[in-house]
Amino acid sequence: MSAPESQLVVHIDDVSISQKTMQILTNPVTESSTSYLDDHIIDAYVTCLREKDMKEGTGTRAEDTVFLEKPLITRLLQRDGEHYVSKDIIDRAMAKATANRYLKHDMEDIKNFRRKLAAILGDARKKNNKRKI
């Protein structure tokens, strides 16, 4: 029997993900698919990456430049040493430009991203449950 859709299945730091949201990760992606990854899923993934980097003592991914920002924080970007804040918080053009800059740096193996992300978040959930015991 599967968990109810409203049940929280992942809780990492300040990020909580319900069963319904996690189901998006296990659905096959097709050209006609309209599902997308919720910000909470990306937040949890970024939190896992940051925690991994901190444990390894690198602080950043060693391969190359990668932005580890949560979707809700991307409005604050560092440009030329100064923080830039958009006057219009919901500035779609800025969000699109930011997303395109990020995608140029980290687009490896995107076809398997959903499955990998589900496995990473599931593993983080198990570790979190062990801490509570």
> Which of 45, 37, 60 shows the shortest CA–CA distance to 10?
45
Residue 79's pLDDT is 43
pLDDT digits (tens, 9 = 90+) for 12-28: 777 777 887 777 777 76
Per-residue model confidence (pLDDT) at position 42: 74
Instruction: Note the pLDDT of residue 110.
Output: 61
Query: pLDDT digits over 52-61, tens only?
Result: 776 776 555 5
Q: Which of 21-35, 65-79, 114-128 has the lowest mean pLDDT?
A: 65-79
Domain parsing of the chain, residue ranges: 8-128
Q: What are the angstrom distances between the C-alpha of 41 and each of 64, 94, 119?
A: 23, 21, 12
